[in-house]
Amino acid sequence: MDAVLLKLLTDGINRIDSSLCTDGTVKRLSRLYDEISLFNPQYGLVNAEGRDLVIRHILDCLAPWPLIRESSGEGCLRMADLGSGAGLPGLVLASVAKDWEISLVERMGRRAGFLRNTCAVMGLSKSVQVVQKDLSEVRETYDVITFRAFRQFKDIVSDLDRILAPGGKIFAYKSSEENIRSETEVLESYTGCTFGTVIRDYDVPMLDARRCLMVISKRN
């Protein structure tokens, strides 16, 4: 990462939450940027590079962390990032989620390999594991689930119910209001557990676009 982009990243982290802007966080996220940039031509991880990669992906994934932290509660929580791909948002959140145990669920072998290598490069191998499975094959349960640009709720709602611990939270990154409405309808009509949904807007530094987080609670 060159000096201009490093300053952009540092300024963005500081604007999200100045307490996050430590040398360790900046170093880990700059390494994530470097790994995505290196392997993106081969693996097609994201449709962005340079400034766009920093703002639209890394900072976008980090921006709702204060909301996620506030909603999740204290202690060592187990989190699964579904369809992790380039590690977005899983590895970004792992960079700041102290004491959390994080699983990156990715069914594609090449991308799972990328995630394992990037965990090592970022110094996160002790707190992060890569689970190379389809969601339907996951048998563990988690306190927190995250995903971004993953499958529609109608295709995964029963799996979410199955792997989310009672009282757990799902944080789904969204940008389309129409998509949010249709996803909420799926949750409301589901006949398994009861899901409660709150929509929280969040701001991404230097990005002029609406971004939302669906905060979904498993009530029973």
pLDDT tens-digit readout, 24-71: 999 999 999 999 999 999 999 999 999 999 999 999 999 999 999 999
Phi and psi at residue 205, to the nearest 5°: -55, 130
Note the pLDDT of residue 145: 98
Give CATH superfamily name and number for 61-218: Vaccinia Virus protein VP39 (3.40.50.150)
Note the pLDDT of residue 162: 97
- Cite the DSSP H helix spans in 17-57: 23-43, 50-52
What residues form DSSP beta bridges with 217? 169, 196
Q: What are the domain boundaries of the chain?
A: 61-218
CA dihedral sign of residues 62, 66, 68, 74: positive
Note the pLDDT of residue 103: 98
pLDDT tens-digit readout, 60-98: 999 999 999 999 987 889 999 999 999 999 999 999 998
In angstroms, rounded to a whole number, what is the distance separating the alpha carbons of residues 92 and 7? 17
* pLDDT over 90 (residue 220): no
Give residues with Cβ within 8 angstroms of 10, minimum separation 6. Answer: 21, 26
What would the two tokens of residue 54 be?
Answer: 């920093």
Note the pLDDT of residue 219: 84
Average of pLDDT values for 6-24?
97
- Do residues 72 and 144 make contact, with C-beta atoms less than 8 angstroms apart? yes
CB neighbour class for 63 (10 Å; exposed up to 12, middle 13-18, buried from 19): buried
Note the pLDDT of residue 76: 85
Average of pLDDT values for 175-186?
87
Q: Residue written as tokens 């766009």?
A: 52
Note the pLDDT of residue 74: 79
Note the pLDDT of residue 34: 98
In angstroms, rounded to a whole number, what is the distance separating the alpha carbons of residues 157 and 153? 5
pLDDT tens-digit readout, 137-178: 999 999 999 999 899 999 999 999 999 999 999 999 998 777
